Chains A and B, each alone.
Chain A
Amino acid sequence: MNVSDTRELKLYGIGASDGISIGQAYLVDKKGVDVIKRYVIQERTLANEIKRFKTAVSKSNNELRAVIEASPEELRQHANIYETHIALLKDKMLYGRTIAYIEKERVNAEWALKKVIANIKLIFQNMDDSYLRERIVDIEHVSELILRNLVGAKQENLADIDRRVILVADDLSPADTSQINLKKIMGFITDGGSKTSHTGIIARTLGIPAVMGLETATRMINTEDIIIADGTQGTVIVHPSEKTILLYQERQNRFEQRKAVIARNCDITAETSDGFRVKVMGNIELPEEVVAVRDHGGDGIGLYRTEFQYLRNHAFPGEATLFNSYKDVVEKMYPNQVTFRTLDINGDKVLRYHIDNYHEDNPALGLRAIRYCLKHPNIFKIQLRAILRAAAYGNLRILIPMISNCFEIKETRRLLDEAAASLAADGLLYKRDIEVGIMIEVPAAVIMADVMAPKVDFFSLGTNDLIQYTLAIDRGNRQVAHLFNPLHPAIVRMLKSTADMAHKHNIGIFICGEMAGDPLYTPLLVGLGIKELSMNPFTIPIIKQTVRSLNFKECQQFTHEILQLADAAEIAKRLQQNFGAMYYEEADVCEETVNGKTA
């Protein structure tokens, strides 16, 4: 294609969420405070400048106090990392030195603070104890707070984005994405990340195009630049010519039309031609997403990731807050079922008001999910009480994440009993008789499935983590991310043995990982006899349609055959050969298939 506008530039990355967006870029500068300017302060206004700094410090102090006070009474004692931050605000080496610097150098407070912090950072860099070295984050946190209060309204706050934009960032953490006003976001573009990283999942959940792994996007794109994000091909075009814009608008229309056709049929039951019925359900993170599940014909919620409500708040939500939103979700979904996965705080989802504030070298293998909850039964019980109370208003079940041994199941059941007893004692309405299931995402649980099955009501295969732990691959690591393969024979066999064990013990089995939402894998999952699939709401219609075009007996036979195969590429080839025709009508016919650079 000829480029009529010489400024037009095409970047190649990984398509993490389908669709095309054309619009203005909004660059999220994590280190937004780095763009601080230095200016000289006249002697007569020096006192004012110092006062301005002191005011910012006292504002910061009030904000932190408010955070502590917003913590529910029962967790107030855990808020003491904020007490430390409050103490840091007035620390000599920060407060005293900044004021001294303003006086001595006659510069603005922002610059003085920045200089002082830079000096402190130098000292910390040379520390040999990694935990103590990283305590610099506490100091940085405090200084960023003061800076924000100095700079005032110009603070970087994703929650404040007020126009429709395509977000451009180095990477977005779950904490970042949970505070974005999602209605304003037309697309995600990141330097880091991959299809299975958190931002990718969020984007697919919301049906927003996303391109990740671009490496240089934040350098090549400025806020307000016109850009095109093509999440289907994994490309980004900066300063597109008019011709290019027209071309992409056309492709955008085609994409939307195809989506509309599938969406219109989304209420039709997902049943194979020979009568095997699959429940196609939605994964949600926030209560408001229930609507998307209903609109896309979801047969319930197979995974409610309850931790996002915690991440979005500035403090641990109390029982009443949780109960109200849980009740709302189950009532809206009724009579369909809602699956509450209990608090899964993990590696990249570190709570901002984290009670322990410890450092973990390897958070994916650390204190997360059920381990975290059992270590902090007080926090866990607040959630369990809220769930049991909501159970009285609809159809719900509980899913426990990261189970690796039977004790964790037993202990959770005991805490559920305790929660129920305390609710009875408080005279509150609740329902104890609910299904309790476990996530099968640690290889130990796959091996122990025969022992665990009689102790629970259902299994839910969390394929993302199961693949990561089984194949020893960090999804966020670009060096090895390409080895993350759901079709690895080890994974296929694990799915098979877990499904067989569930069938043998007559308990439920379903999949809520990314695998469930990709039509490529549907024949395999149906062939394993998995009756429930849960995915991001926007892919429900496609999966339902895919199920309807399959024959259960054929899928069973096919699955039996691929279980004999030795490598993932062969399995993928067989899937294409047997079911490929089904996908061609889905795939966007495009000039080239660019899957980005090899990692």
Chain B
Amino acid sequence: MQNHVSKLSKQVYIVNALGLHARAAAQIAGIVQESRSAVHIINNDLKADASSIIDILTLNSPQGTVLTFEIENPSDHNILDALVTLVENRFGEEN
């Protein structure tokens, strides 16, 4: 079971200077619109619906935060990968 869960989630490290701000959250929510089932983002004990910008913002994730993306449906793995890439690319920000 533990093994199974880890396949459906990935950890990321927020590297961009401004953290998970509105425009970044909008990009995440934009990607998640395409998902088949629910996608969540977890920051410690907080869990947000990744399709809602506001919910994502309430995770309060400045630079340096470790987040977990979690998908419910294995066929959403491409969404999971896209989200990880987005964060790693600093949401397209310069620094």
Contact = CB atoms under 8 A, between A and B. Distances in A.
B47 interface: no
Interface residues of B, number: 20
A358 B19 CA distance: 11
Nearest to A359: B18
Contacts of B49: 92-93
Given A88-B22, A92-B49, A358-B18, A132 B62 contact: yes
A583 interface: no
A135 B18 CA distance: 11
B19 A129 contact: yes
Contacts, number: 63
Contacts of B23: 80-81, 83-84, 357
Interface string B20-42: 11110010011000000000000
B13 to A, nearest CB: 16
A358 B49 CA distance: 25
A84 B20 contact: no
B81 to A, nearest CB: 22
Is chain A's binding surface mostly helix, strand, loop or mixed? helix
Contact of A92 (B26, B30, B51): B51
A127 interface: yes
- Of residues B21, B30, B54, which shows the largest number of chain A Cβ atoms within 10 Å of its Cβ? B54
Given A80-B23, A92-B51, A129 B57 contact: no
B30 A131 contact: no
B20 A91 contact: no
Given A92-B49, A123-B58, A131 B18 contact: yes
A319 interface: no
A289 interface: no
A161 B18 CA distance: 39
B26 A124 contact: no
Nearest to A87: B26
B21 A92 contact: no
A139 interface: yes
Contacts of A138: 22
A244 to B, nearest CB: 52
A93 B19 contact: no
B68 interface: no
A128 interface: yes
Contacts of A448: none
B18 A93 contact: no
Contact of A135 (B22, B29, B55): B22
A132 B52 CA distance: 16
B61 to A, nearest CB: 7
Interface residues of A, number: 24
Contacts of B53: 84, 87-88, 91
Contacts of B19: 129, 131-132
A87 B62 contact: no
Interface in A103-146: 120, 123-124, 127-129, 131-133, 135, 138-139
Contact of B54 (A80, A120, A357): A120
Most buried by A among B21, B30, B55, B62: B21
B60 interface: yes
**Central interface residue in B19, B20, B21, B53, by most chain A CB within 10 Å:** B53
Interface string B53-92: 1110110111000000000000000000000000000000
A254 to B, nearest CB: 55
A92 B52 contact: yes
5 contacts: A87-B30, A92-B55, A132-B21, A132-B62, A138-B22
Interface of B: 18-23, 26, 29-30, 49, 51-55, 57-58, 60-62
6 nearest A-B residue pairs (beta carbon): A93-B54, A129-B62, A127-B60, A84-B26, A92-B52, A87-B26
Given A88-B54, A132-B62, A135-B57, 7 more contacts: A83-B26, A91-B29, A92-B49, A127-B60, A131-B18, A131-B62, A132-B57
